[in-house]
Structure 1
Amino acid sequence: MATMYPDVLPDSIVSDPRRRAEVDVYRTLANSLPARCDVLYSVGWLSLDGVSDGEADFVVLDPDRGLLVIEVKGGIKVWRDGGGQWWSESHGHHVNDIKDPVRQAMSSKHQLVRKLKTLPGLRDQWIPAAHAVILPAVSDSGQDMGPDAPRSIFAFAPDMGDLGNKIFEIWDYQGSGKSLGQKNADTARKFLAPSFELSPKWGQMLGAAEQEIVRLTETQFNVFEAIGRNRRIAVYGGAGTGKTLLAIEKARRSAAQGLRTLFTCFNRPLRDELARKIGESEFLEILTFHQVCAQYAKESGLNEKLGGNYDEYPKILNEALGIIGPKYDVVIVDEAQDFYQQGNNATVDGATDWIAVLELCLDGPGIFNVFLDSNQLVYGGEIVLPDETTVWELTENLRNSRQIHGLARRMYSGSIFGTAGPTGPEPVLVQFDDGDFDMLLDRLVQELSRIEQTVDVDQTVVLVSNRSLLNRILESKVGGRFTSTPEVSHSRLVKMDTIARFKGLESSAVLLIGMGDFAESLEAAYVGVTRARTVLTIIGQRSDIEFIRTAK
């Protein structure tokens, strides 16, 4: 049995009558090809210049033969008229003109070979390739359909009973007699296949499935298909919907293809965490926006213009680009709503549009992906996206327990925002007297002791609503129990940070502290609550607790 990617088709595809033929072919290929073959369904790819962009219904990889690109057409009758136009008659006897399936398969084959030849491991390798057309509900035509459409490259309804052998006949008809080899087949598969499965390394970032391979949800499946086919894409989603997970995968794959990739975010702690989790490579840079600006300024001789006024950084970056030019093939922006909050109203020439100036870092047409939170209650206002941007939404919270999601949902307004998370304990709300700092410290120690009975120290974080309160706690009589630096895995100290700095990160247990801030900052409450995967305790003054209880 062949290895299938994905190994299970999403329900939305299986139940779609327009994909009936593809689903039939998927199932038949799975059962009729040998285990050495990889079968990839619905494959798309982008190139730097746009010339080699393409997609295919199926790609089959066989180390003994090479790659085979397959185009599938449904309908009970498919034919080509005297003028070269192709037609299809559906099961409901509706007749429609269709694209030339032979030309589609042949073009995709050539585009894919060109794209694979850009990969570091395949640049100097011979890639034997063939193309085929499968018409699973059409009787054998018994004749060629044109000089470029010989019967020998088609599989018809009678062939579906032994499709594997028919595939090999098509392959051998066009074959060069050379093999692809296991190493080259693996390289091609790793480039084309991972859209459907994420490795445990990335699963550890989500935490909820730390002992299992993280599987893409059906919504993520559709979004990642779109990411692979669009140069400009914006992915919206509430907290915990997997935006950063998809951004990481896009960055990793782009770099693996030898594309010069910039993965940027606003928050320094998030950047540092991503760099530790992913690791940097020859083709991947992970930088905050300010680090991007500083790097360009240094390389262009504008270092003296850098200072404490960060609002000037976009202008400096724009000026530096005019001196040394762009250098990236792919730019990925995570937590992009933070960039829009900095100011997205100026013209591109003014270069205070943070997102627009990042797009200028692309060398050529490039690939530009942004991932941002869709909570309109917190991040309201108009968001201006680059021209020709395709918009997709993630609608399932995969990070938080159902109880935490229920609390966060009351602070959210936007698209549908459901949960696929596990059941967990109810969030705990603890109140202290207004302004009584000593009582706050007592409640903090008590709640930490309770949490530590069930959650390891390195899976717990204390998040404080503002910097001055954090410093006050660290300097207090209990401050020795905490650290505000991330490198604490070797110690028994509990991590402590501000909510703002911890944005984009998460922890199994979060102890959230406010001192009258939450009622004044919905963003602080929303971000803080959604950092917790399973255990959440909120300590606050009366106004904080009342706000959390009554948030709608």
Structure 2
Amino acid sequence: MHMIPVFIDESAPLGEIDVFRKLESSGHDWIVIHSLDLAPYNNYRRTEIDFVILIPDVGILCVEVKSHREIGFDGSRWYPDSVTKSPFRQAQDARFALRRRLVGRLSAFAHVPVIHCCIFPRADFAVPANVSIQSFEVMDRRRFAGCGTGEAFCDALKRMAQLAIGADPQISPLKVLLSAFHRDEFINFCFPIRKRRPEKAAEILHREAELEKLLREQQRPVLRLTDNNPRVLVEGGAGTGKSLIGIEVARRKAAQGLRVGYLCFNRLIGNWAARELAADNHPDLIGGSAFSVLMSLTGIDPPNDPDADFWAQLPLLIQDRLTDPACAHDARFDYLVIDEAQDILARPDLLDCVRLLIDGDLIGGSYLMLGDFRNQVLTGADELKANLVEVRHQAARWLLTENCRNYKSIGQVAMTLSMADRSTYSGYMRQGGGLQTWDLTMYEDAKDQVRKISECIDLALDSGFRDEEITVLSFGAEQKSVLPLLWEQSQRRFVSAAQFEAKGIRWSTVSAYKGLENKVIIITDVMPSDSGFNRHRFYTGITRAIERLYILCHASGKSQLVEWVAFAGKDNE
């Protein structure tokens, strides 16, 4: 028997251990893969298969194992309450998801039967008369115990598979024995969706060693907190390493066999997180913006050009779908990392959707929340305050105050211009940077601003920075910004900040770029005034800069800037 992996973790469910032991003791020439998660192939919905067994002369058998000592169906629901979805529907859904993807990837498997069954090694189970389940779909405790040897157990599974094929007119029996080549193809196909990968242990240890070099003394305790507490709240300003910590915790929890989601509010940082986590090739690790993940999990396809009404109605549509127990089961996570928590806690409709993804809700669930609750101006400030009090009451807390991204001079500019809380940062990791770290320039009109932006870009390039290390951020909306004129008149290539792999100078707006960073930041279209001007955008925009910062303000706002700087100086006396 070719077992993958070759051993089973003792922390696995007892019923799965029982089945594993029986299979590994057999001398059959089969391939058995323990613990696959087809979520990446099924819109990231929970689609797990406990065992996938390739029987070379029969087909592929998907096995769902339940370890309960009692299991049943009373006509309306399964019991005990921990069985939130029919085991048979689970096995069937996983089987169909596997076959769709398998045939799409490996055409040679188009005629290979894919069937399913359930095994309850520790519970007696009588097939209810009011449920459309065939006797060959299930093996309960008595039948399992009756298979005294691994060979007898495998013979019983093979008979169940053959009966399932014979009972389905849409499935034809396998005519040709699957070759060694096709078996290897199947193993390679399954690798990205294997949940348990002992051979990755060395890689995980190497990554943890590399991370230890990056994390500061103030950040390391968060990893220990998440090991020992089901709920953790991390508070900290921009540049304190919250997203780095969140990504690593998500990876560690997934490596422990948990189904993990990483959610944030901002679309761009959601795309970045999804890209980072996808590189792990782990089926139980899902990342992205909250709305994109929720829509994927609930099967909602946005229109080509969604309007305000679509976004306003979306939370209620998501909640409606998640009230279906089967949908909720498939969507729910064992552990959730919630980045940019201030934006989610301040939006009750969105928070209600996210809560439905947490097994146990905010009170009894397992999650890590990371947010900046001091320097964000939000429309739902009252809601944020109430929800934050609830989370603080339920979670272990940690405060990050060391700025690890910005030079001290850049951080101080952000504090001065934005009116940010002066206690946000206790210190800065990066004290140097020289006299050319930042610059504030006045412009007269759009044409003058384009010329000065080009000068800033030239200065950065002459200093050795590459195009991809420069981001131009409009202080306001793209439509009212200098960006279209800049693209038209500049000879350089500009690409959206969402195009992570593309070559060229990045562009975005301050609001959309929240959570991201680049070596050189050029902030444009700043028109300071004493009314209706959102100074807090200075905090968001300025703290994106790692090495250089350029701010372009309209000349009409010069006196207002002088007043703000002077007032900040008095405030610090």
> TM range, normalised to the smaller chain?
0.5 to 0.7
| Structure 1 equivalent of residue 471 of structure 2 | 461
1:331 maps to amino acid: L
1:408-487 pair list within 5 angstroms:
408-410=414-416, 411=418, 412-413=420-421, 414-425=423-434, 426-433=437-444, 436-454=445-463, 455-466=465-476, 467-468=478-479, 469=481, 471-474=483-486, 476-478=488-490, 481-484=493-496, 486-487=498-499
Contact 1:239 1:530 in 2 (8 A): yes
| Structure 1 equivalent of residue 387 of structure 2 | 384
1:537 maps to amino acid: Y
| Structure 1 equivalent of residue 243 of structure 2 | 244
2:411 is the alignment partner of 1:405: yes
**Structure 1 residues 514 and 470: CA distance shift in structure 2, 3 A:** closer
2:313 maps to amino acid: E
2:553 maps to amino acid: G
| Deviation at residue 233 of structure 1 after TM alignment | 1.5
Q: How big is each residue's C-alpha offset from its partner over 1:443-472, in whole Å with a ceiling of 9 and x where there is no partner?
A: 111111111111221111111112121553
2:549 is the alignment partner of 1:536: yes
| Structure 1 equivalent of residue 320 of structure 2 | 319
| TM-score of the pair, normalised by structure 2 | 0.54
| Structure 2 equivalent of residue 367 of structure 1 | 366
1:56-205 pair list within 5 angstroms:
197-199=209-211
Task: Provide the rounded CA distance (Å) in 1 between the counterparts of 2:535 and 2:199.
Answer: 48
Task: Provide the rounded CA distance (Å) in 1 between the counterparts of 2:266 and 2:529.
Answer: 21
**Structure 1 residues 517 and 248: CA distance shift in structure 2, 3 A:** farther
Q: How big is each residue's C-alpha offset from its partner over 1:465-489, in whole Å with a ceiling of 9 and x where there is no partner?
A: 1212155335532275422254375
1:288-367 pair list within 5 angstroms:
288-298=289-299, 308-309=308-309, 310-323=311-324, 324-326=327-329, 327-341=332-346, 343-344=347-348, 352=349, 354-364=350-360, 365-367=364-366
Q: 2:537 aligns with which of 524, 543, 547?
A: 524
Task: Provide the rounded CA distance (Å) in 2 between the counterparts of 1:283 and 1:363.
Answer: 15
**Structure 1 residues 441 and 224: CA distance shift in structure 2, 3 A:** same
Contact 1:293 1:314 in 2 (8 A): no
Which runs of at least 4 in structure 1 moved beyond 6 Å after TM superposition?
183-191, 193-196
| TM-score of the pair, normalised by structure 1 | 0.56
Kindly, what percent of the aligned residue pairs are identical? 24
2:509 is the alignment partner of 1:498: yes
Task: Provide the rounded CA distance (Å) in 1 between the counterparts of 2:411 and 2:377.
Answer: 16
Q: Relative to structure 2, which stretch is displaced further, 249-258 or 411-420?
A: 411-420
1:439 maps to amino acid: D
**Structure 1 residues 438 and 48: CA distance shift in structure 2, 3 A:** farther
1:254 maps to amino acid: K
**Structure 1 residues 470 and 236: CA distance shift in structure 2, 3 A:** farther
| Structure 1 equivalent of residue 4 of structure 2 | none
**Structure 1 residues 439 and 550: CA distance shift in structure 2, 3 A:** farther
Task: Provide the rounded CA distance (Å) in 2 between the counterparts of 1:226 and 1:315.
Answer: 34
Task: Provide the rounded CA distance (Å) in 1 between the counterparts of 2:203 and 2:529.
Answer: 46
Task: Provide the rounded CA distance (Å) in 1 between the counterparts of 2:514 and 2:216.
Answer: 23
Contact 1:48 1:366 in 2 (8 A): no
Contact 2:277 2:287 in 1 (8 A): no
1:367 maps to amino acid: S
Task: Provide the rounded CA distance (Å) in 2 between the counterparts of 1:437 and 1:247.
Answer: 40
Contact 1:241 1:395 in 2 (8 A): yes
| Structure 2 equivalent of residue 79 of structure 1 | none
Residue 505 of structure 1 aligns to a residue in which SS?
Answer: coil
Task: Provide the rounded CA distance (Å) in 2 between the counterparts of 1:228 and 1:522.
Answer: 39
1:448 maps to amino acid: I
Q: How big is each residue's C-alpha offset from its partner over 1:375-414, in whole Å with a ceiling of 9 and x where there is no partner?
A: 3464665251335122211010001111111212333215
Contact 2:271 2:498 in 1 (8 A): no
Task: Provide the rounded CA distance (Å) in 2 between the counterparts of 1:362 and 1:311.
Answer: 23
Q: Relative to structure 2, which stretch is displaced further, 441-450 or 420-429?
A: 420-429
Contact 2:442 2:553 in 1 (8 A): yes
Task: Provide the rounded CA distance (Å) in 2 between the counterparts of 1:481 and 1:190.
Answer: 38
Contact 2:408 2:430 in 1 (8 A): yes
Contact 2:518 2:546 in 1 (8 A): yes
1:447 maps to amino acid: C
Contact 1:235 1:370 in 2 (8 A): yes
| Deviation at residue 490 of structure 1 after TM alignment | 5.6
Residue 250 of structure 1 aligns to a residue in which SS?
Answer: helix
**Structure 1 residues 471 and 185: CA distance shift in structure 2, 3 A:** closer
Task: Provide the rounded CA distance (Å) in 1 between the counterparts of 2:256 and 2:563.
Answer: 49
**Structure 1 residues 184 and 196: CA distance shift in structure 2, 3 A:** closer
| Deviation at residue 255 of structure 1 after TM alignment | 1.4
Q: How big is each residue's C-alpha offset from its partner over 1:423-456, in whole Å with a ceiling of 9 and x where there is no partner?
A: 11331010012xx111111111111111111122
Task: Provide the rounded CA distance (Å) in 1 between the counterparts of 2:545 and 2:564.
Answer: 15
1:483 maps to amino acid: V
**Structure 1 residues 429 and 465: CA distance shift in structure 2, 3 A:** same
1:298 maps to amino acid: G
Task: Provide the rounded CA distance (Å) in 1 between the counterparts of 2:566 and 2:323.
Answer: 52
The count of aligned residue pairs is 345
Q: How big is each residue's C-alpha offset from its partner over 1:93-136, in whole Å with a ceiling of 9 and x where there is no partner?
A: xxxxxxxxxxxxxxxxxxxxxxxxxxxxxxxxxxxxxxxxxxxx
| Structure 2 equivalent of residue 223 of structure 1 | 222
**Structure 1 residues 513 and 307: CA distance shift in structure 2, 3 A:** closer
Task: Provide the rounded CA distance (Å) in 2 between the counterparts of 1:318 and 1:194.
Answer: 41
1:362 maps to amino acid: I
Task: Provide the rounded CA distance (Å) in 2 between the counterparts of 1:255 and 1:232.
Answer: 16
Contact 2:264 2:340 in 1 (8 A): yes
Task: Provide the rounded CA distance (Å) in 1 between the counterparts of 2:453 and 2:228.
Answer: 49
Residue 312 of structure 2 aligns to a residue in which SS?
Answer: helix
Structure 1 segments unaligned to the other structure (5+ residues): 1-46, 50-182, 200-212, 345-351
